[in-house]
Structure 1
Amino acid sequence: MSKAIKILLPLLLFSLSLQAERIKDIANIVGVRDNQLIGYGLVVGLNGTGDKTTSKFTMQSIANMLESVNVKIDADDIKSKNVAAVMVTAKLPPFSRQGDKVDVLVSSIGDAKSLEGGTLILTPLTGVDGRIYATSQGAISIGGKNERGGGVNHPLAGMLYGGAIIEREIPLDLYSKTGATLSLKSSNFQNAARVQESLNQNFGTQVAIAIDPRTIKLQRPESMSMVEFLARVEEVEIDYNRENKIVIDERTGTVVAGVGVKVGPVVVTHGEITIKITPEMSADNGAMDMGEGIKLSLNTNTLSTSGQTPTVSSVARALQRMGATPKDVISILEAIKRSGAISADLEIL
């Protein structure tokens, strides 16, 4: 038997049965979303850690910037190492208004060593349509986290918290609309039907109709504004059915599986390890009890059931206890899935 290891495979267990969920947590309102912004800029004030003179685009950008303030110089004559070319990205939240501020991420695209201590000079941020929606400027923060838990800790990427000012709004007129559309975050016929039924019962009238397993059309009551209607819709709870799924991250050796995902009858041999799952009781009285209806035969290094139907989580834990490596556990689960003994979907990251 392979030797035990200290940290094998983090197994996260989630209940995948019906559970109450607010509609705002399982669905999005179509049209109410973030928009991506991007820009190209220069970071100045670096202590010799900027782009080298071999980065021609940086030197040309410096020359262009200086020309905008009436200083004309040839790009080939610039020898500064205190400037770095960067890409600036941000998200424009829905209903943002002129003057609102958003966070931006600044990332080096040249051969700079660090952006620490640098200042981003005025950079326009554009959308996919090429129009300018925000401008960004300010001192760069390397490391740490913002108020929403995000952040970076890398010398070639930094944040400007509230460093972009919204200059152009994206119009979205909810006030005059009589209807809206919900989009479930995952397609499911039962969940779509439950959303429709729960909303109609909550409002006492036909306000929702599911047109496919992901989309629900809404019609606001005449007595309510659209904002009031959507606010109430988002707080309605439904019995949400989460589909069984096993997620495996091969890079980290992490397996995420529901406690209710059963493993059917199967025999799998992987190296020195054998798993035998049958409806009959195990006949090996000398086997070690691993818990949850699973026994380990030390003579044959075999996992077997004791008349119960094991789950993916119990099999994974038993494999850990007998010294299987994360790679072994993942390979065994993949083989069991291919054999048809696991009905849940298997997703490999």
Structure 2
Amino acid sequence: MKFLTHTSIAFILLLFASTSYSARIKDIASIQGVRSNQLVGYGLVVGLPGTGEKSSKFTEQAFSTMLRNFGVNIPIGEKLKIKNVAPVAVTAELKAFAKRGQKIDITVSAIGEAKSLRGGELLQTFLKGVDGKIYAIAQGSVVVGGLGAEGADGSKVMINTPTVGRIANGAMVEKEVISPFSQGDTITFNLYESDFTTAKRMADTINNLVGANTATMLDATSVQVLAPRNISQRVSYLSTLENLEFEPARGAAKVIVNSRTGTIVIGQDVKLLPTAITHGGISVTISENKTVDQPNAFAGGKTQVTNNSTITITNEDSRMFTFDTGVSLNDLVRAVNEVGLAPGDLMAILEALKQAGALQGELIII
């Protein structure tokens, strides 16, 4: 009954999805060239309460280099105690149009044997882009949401991940990324989900507002639109375009099956050809019981072991249902509810329908 409830809920949600709806251009497409950039850096977190790195060469090298930058020279061969220090990887996302002096959030992750970053302070760390240039500088107190504790006998308790932390506004932008947004006579919208019909409808919507031949479809993903060169006018123009609403095309008919969790999602356009399905089966159970035959004391016989086999045949309740041409999602889910299939049984039926060529749609098993 639990599965039936889930199936009914999924069916209700899909019924809502089958109704037409309008979407803004900004919700289904991005502007080509307007994108974020990933930054990464290597740094040290200090001030840890003994939960830092054990002895490691690269941590000692980084720690020694930091001290030399402050004029402190470590004698050659000196063994450093760095249990209050942890080497970390620092990552951040530099948003489009981020300006110098603005601050961005960063994530700090231990890359050695540190047990926890709680209470630590990230020292000044340079964050570089894929081109190797420095775009931001990070520093600040690490906030860790995880907790870890270890007993003397080796027992451990861990909540979340104490070796990963965040620093809100932990990095300051030092270099801007040049955007092609203000260049050329056009801007290009890229759909998140490629579809020829959606691209055509988007182009038609823009042309109906601005004028014929303003928007041109390049392929199933991209729509190119003429735009003014003046940057102020272009921003205002884009603000108008991205808030235009139109009805995107309905996606292709798909059935997605997650074999690990038993989740089955059936698209609204999935249909079946004339089909008859029976569900149920016969289970055979064989049990072996051994008995001992003991002859009389003066009979001169031998003790024998006899095998007694018991065969039990259970015929499960088998049901059959048929589908006519072009059965809709409504009929399919109703039949599933009436039969009372488990997720595993429904997966097997869907696979058999696809192999028989009776399922009109793509079957995706993940």
RMSD (Å) for aligned C-alpha atoms: 3.4
Aligned to 1:341: 358
Change (3 A) 1:323 1:86: farther
Aligned-partner Cα distance in 2 for 1:267–1:306: 6
Aligned-partner Cα distance in 2 for 1:22–1:239: 9
Aligned-partner Cα distance in 2 for 1:48–1:131: 34
State the one-letter code of the partner of 2:223: I
Q: Determine which of 242, 249, 258 is the counterpart of 2:258.
A: 249
Aligned to 1:31: 33
Query: Does the 8 A contact of 1:175 with 1:227 survive in 2?
Result: no
| Residue 85 (structure 1) aligned with residue 87 (structure 2) | yes
Query: Does the 8 A contact of 2:26 with 2:243 survive in 1?
Result: yes
Q: 1:341 Cα shift?
A: 2.6
- Which structure exhibits the higher relative contact order, with contacts defined as CA atoms closer than 8 Å and separated by 6 or more residues? 1
Aligned-partner Cα distance in 1 for 2:145–2:126: 24
| Residue 66 (structure 1) aligned with residue 67 (structure 2) | yes
Q: Determine which of 98, 102, 120 is the counterpart of 1:118.
A: 120
Question: Residue 135 of structure 1: SS of its match in structure 2?
Answer: strand
Change (3 A) 1:178 1:116: same
After superposition, residues 49-60 of structure 1 pair within 5 angstroms as 49-53=51-55, 55-60=56-61
Change (3 A) 1:322 1:34: same
Aligned-partner Cα distance in 1 for 2:106–2:163: 14
Query: Does the 8 A contact of 1:8 with 1:326 survive in 2?
Result: no
Aligned-partner Cα distance in 2 for 1:58–1:268: 65
Change (3 A) 1:29 1:299: same
Q: 1:304 Cα shift?
A: 1.6
Aligned to 1:304: 321
Aligned to 1:229: 237
After superposition, give the CA deviation of every residue in 1:45-71 in whole Å (9 maximum; x if it has no partner): 221222221x33222222222222222
Question: Residue 137 of structure 1: SS of its match in structure 2?
Answer: strand
| Residue 195 (structure 1) aligned with residue 202 (structure 2) | yes
Question: Residue 77 of structure 1: SS of its match in structure 2?
Answer: coil
After superposition, give the CA deviation of every residue in 1:271-330 in whole Å (9 maximum; x if it has no partner): 749xxxxxxxxxxxxxxxxxxxxxxxx964335247696556875686578665544443
State the one-letter code of the partner of 2:235: V
Aligned to 1:169: 176
State the one-letter code of the partner of 1:23: I
Aligned-partner Cα distance in 1 for 2:50–2:168: 25
Q: Determine which of 166, 169, 185 is the counterpart of 2:192.
A: 185
Aligned-partner Cα distance in 2 for 1:35–1:41: 20
Change (3 A) 1:112 1:333: farther
Question: Residue 53 of structure 2: SS of its match in structure 1?
Answer: coil
State the one-letter code of the partner of 1:341: A
TM-score by length of 2: 0.74
State the one-letter code of the partner of 1:165: M
Higher alpha-carbon Rg: 2
Q: 1:36 Cα shift?
A: 0.8
State the one-letter code of the partner of 1:65: M
TM-score by length of 1: 0.78
Question: Residue 236 of structure 2: SS of its match in structure 1?
Answer: helix
Q: Determine which of 201, 217, 220 is the counterpart of 2:224.
A: 217
Unpaired runs of 5+ residues, structure 1, are 145-151, 274-297
Query: Does the 8 A contact of 1:11 with 1:313 survive in 2?
Result: no
Q: 1:126 Cα shift?
A: 0.7
| Equivalences, count | 315
